[in-house]
Amino acid sequence: PTLTPAPQRPLATNTPVVLVTLPPPTQAPPTQAPLPTPQNFPDWRADYWANSSFQGEPAVTRNEPVLDFDWRTGSPEGRIPLDNFSARWQRALYFDGGTYRFTLRVDDGARMYVDNVLVLDAFQDGGVRTSETVITLGRGTHAIRVDYFERTGLAGAGVPLG
């Protein structure tokens, strides 16, 4: 991706573990064809694995209307262990063309991709840390993906829009 300076935008800071801040998407013009989205995943397609390495089939797949989780010492649900699990959230969003700041705060590891291009990489064990990047997106629908793993201790994830 092309890195360019971005105008300052307020960044959400209320999610304690994984935080990706995106500008609010706008509605696609009627003539803009969105990327195909399965009917049963109108928001974020969420896949959860009972291991920290995305191995095998997900133990749980469901729609998540928002990504703002604070599992603390728990997990996303009973089929997922308290530690050593992973998650992948995907969706297609329309953006006006422009420069956007992506901020990721994570405790253990996460990566963020836009259109299958890695834009943020904090995919290692560790305490809470923040990284950010600025990229230019063309007008249109873009595929957003966040991969997350929990090793031990507290767990949570958030991808607020706006």
Q: pTM of the predicted model, to two decimals?
A: 0.74
Structure token pair of residue 107? 């405790």
The dihedral through the CA atoms of 155, 107, 25, 37 has a sign that is negative
- pLDDT higher than 70, residue 16: no
pLDDT digit string, tens, across residues 36-84: 455 678 899 999 999 999 999 999 999 998 877 778 788 999 999 999 9
Mean pLDDT estimate for the chain: 76
Higher pLDDT, 160 or 157: 157
For a pLDDT cut of 90, what percent of the chain falls above it?
44
What is the pLDDT averaged over residues 4-11? 38
Higher pLDDT, 12 or 138: 138
As a three-state string, the secondary structure of the chain is CCCCCCCCCCCCCCCCCCEECECCCCCCCCCCCCCCCCCCCCCEEEEEECCCCCCCCCCEEEEECCCEEEEECCCCCCCCCCCCEEEEEEEEEEECCEEEEEEEEECCEEEEEECCEEEEEEECCCCCEEEEEEEEECCEEEEEEEEEEECCCCEEEECCEC
What does the pLDDT read at residue 12?
A: 35
- pLDDT higher than 60, residue 34: no
Q: How many CA atoms lie within 13 A of 122 on its CB side?
A: 26
pLDDT digit string, tens, across residues 147-157: 999 988 877 66
Q: How far is Cα 82 from Cα 68, in angstroms, rounded to an integer? A: 18
pLDDT digit string, tens, across residues 91-122: 998 999 999 988 777 778 889 999 999 999 98
What does the pLDDT read at residue 35?
A: 45
Q: How far is Cα 89 from Cα 43, in angstroms, rounded to an integer? A: 10
